[in-house]
């Protein structure tokens, strides 16, 4: 397989954009184009800025088609050198990738053999990142019968006049309506009690309860993570919006009523959520300590330390714990974070990535098996 990576870098002016383009070509990016940021209300903060768009294709390898963390860091360093930021870094399947890349504003088009030579040297010259043993996925209970699961869910979160394929579809509907594309809107705080009801519903499968905890985490931290992500962008006020602040408060208000102990996955996600809202109670701490003991010596240990540090709120321990997670999980956390971002913002961005990884890699029982509380 081939790893294909697309990058979009924004910088304040045209000269800087061409300088970035040159640096990307020097890294073996096969195609690099320079374009002015289009006029768009969603792009107001980048009015007058320019962008370098690039495509890099790495030598054959086995595994998922994802962006190399090392390449993300290198491109981010180039962007910051010229006063800009990386807006996008994503991996795709390579089929027809070169043909689909827009040639508008094309600044560099490397010979494929030359690009392959440069990329092979860069990839081969990267030192192996030290990492702790990968932990097994956190345990999570099985799925109930879909129809019964959905009936239990709509009893606590009724949707008049709408039908759903399952609980996952219901959760997606709530998120799409009140948290579109991960952005807090005026309707977001009002959706928090509905998600909390799903997370606490005994008749809903454990995995879906965990999904709602993940959405609640993302809602409550959206403002701080957004500010961390935009730290290299033109000034946008540097503060949470009223809706983001209200959402944080709404999540903090429902936390005391959320049960813990249904599954390792739920306990871990709830611990992260509680820490992020500074509502870490004794029950959360006890559950987190059990998991810490069970997975001691694995790459999950630094994540536990990060949750503890975020809950305590002291900057230096948070900074140290964030760096430890990046080092322990290099293939999960890319570590591309603005030096202008707050320590808390960088930590929450890291924790968001790791908690989502935990959700995606949970240990589920074989089909047809239901785990009870533990």
Which pLDDT band holds residue 131 (cuts at 50, 70, 90)?
A: low
> What residue spans of 295-340 are helical by DSSP H?
300-312, 315-328
CA–CA dist 279, 250 (Å, integer): 12
Give the pLDDT confidence score for residue 162 in this predicted structure. Answer: 84
Mind listing the pLDDT tens digit for each residue in 73-93? Answer: 788 888 888 888 887 766 655
Which pLDDT band holds residue 34 (cuts at 50, 70, 90)?
A: very high
Residue 339: how many other CB atoms lie within 10 Å: 8
Average pLDDT over residues 55-65: 61
Give the pLDDT confidence score for residue 251 in this predicted structure. Answer: 95
Strand partners, 106: 33
Q: Poorest-confidence range of 242-256, 299-313, 321-335?
A: 321-335
Give the pLDDT confidence score for residue 97 in this predicted structure. Answer: 67
Residue 188: how many other CB atoms lie within 10 Å: 23
Is pLDDT of 191 > 90?
yes
Mind listing the pLDDT tens digit for each residue in 35-48? Answer: 999 888 777 778 88
The pair of structure tokens assigned to 246 is 């209200």
The pair of structure tokens assigned to 303 is 């994540």
Greater confidence (191 vs 371) lies with: 191
DSSP codes joined into one string, 154-215:
HHHS--TT---SSHHHHHHHHHHHHSGGG---TTHHHHHHHHHHHHT-TTS-HHHHHHHHHH
Greater confidence (227 vs 126) lies with: 227
Give the pLDDT confidence score for residue 360 in this predicted structure. Answer: 87
Element spanning 90, H or E: strand 85-92
Is pLDDT of 367 > 60?
no
Q: Poorest-confidence range of 62-71, 224-233, 312-321, 324-333?
A: 62-71
Greater confidence (62 vs 264) lies with: 264
31: closest CA among 1, 4, 60, 59?
A: 4
Mind listing the pLDDT tens digit for each residue in 241-299? Answer: 999 999 999 999 998 888 655 789 999 999 999 999 976 555 567 888 999 999 999 99
> Mean pLDDT across the chain, nearest whole number?
84
CA–CA dist 292, 307 (Å, integer): 11
Which pLDDT band holds residue 127 (cuts at 50, 70, 90)?
A: low
Give the pLDDT confidence score for residue 1 in this predicted structure. Answer: 46
Is pLDDT of 321 > 90?
yes
Average pLDDT over residues 172-200: 92
Q: Poorest-confidence range of 71-80, 86-95, 110-119, 225-234?
A: 86-95
CA–CA dist 107, 76 (Å, integer): 20
């Amino acid at each position: 397989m081939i790893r294909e990576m697309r990058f979009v870098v924004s910088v304040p002016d045209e000269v800087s954009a061409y300088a970035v383009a040159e640096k990307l070509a020097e890294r073996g990016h096969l195609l690099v184009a320079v374009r002015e940021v289009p006029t768009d209300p969603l792009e107001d903060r980048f009015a007058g800025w320019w962008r370098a768009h690039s495509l890099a294709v790495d030598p054959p390898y086995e595994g998922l088609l994802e962006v190399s963390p090392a390449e993300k860091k290198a491109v981010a360093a180039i962007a910051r050198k010229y006063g800009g930021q990386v807006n996008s870094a994503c991996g795709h399947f390579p089929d027809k990738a070169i043909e689909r890349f827009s040639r508008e504003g094309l600044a560099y088009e490397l010979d494929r053999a030359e690009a392959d030579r440069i990329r092979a040297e860069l990839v081969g010259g990267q030192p192996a990142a030290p990492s702790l043993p990968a932990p097994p996925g956190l345990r999570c209970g099985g799925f109930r019968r879909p129809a019964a699961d959905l009936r239990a869910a709509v009893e606590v979160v009724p949707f008049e006049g709408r039908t759903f394929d399952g609980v996952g579809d219901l959760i997606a509907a709530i998120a799409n309506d009140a948290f579109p594309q991960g952005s807090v809107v005026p309707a977001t705080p009002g959706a928090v009690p509905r998600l909390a009801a799903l997370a606490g519903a005994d008749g809903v499968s454990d995995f879906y309860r965990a999904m709602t905890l993940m959405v609640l985490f993302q809602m409550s931290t959206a403002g701080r993570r957004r500010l961390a992500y935009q730290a290299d962008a033109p000034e946008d006020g540097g503060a949470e919006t009223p809706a983001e602040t209200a959402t944080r408060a709404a999540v903090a208000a429902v936390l005391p009523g959320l049960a813990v102990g249904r599954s390792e996955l739920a306990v871990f996600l709830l611990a992260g959520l509680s820490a992020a809202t500074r509502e870490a109670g004794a029950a959360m701490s006890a559950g987190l300590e059990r998991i810490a003991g069970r997975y001691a010596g694995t790459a999950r240990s630094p994540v536990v330390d990060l949750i503890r540090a975020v809950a305590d709120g002291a900057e230096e321990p948070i900074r140290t714990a964030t760096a430890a997670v990046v080092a322990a999980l290099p293939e999960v956390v890319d570590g591309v974070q603005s030096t202008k971002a707050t320590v808390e913002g960088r930590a929450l961005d890291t924790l968001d990535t790791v908690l989502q990884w935990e959700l995606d890699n949970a240990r589920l029982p074989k089909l047809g098996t239901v785990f009870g509380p533990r």
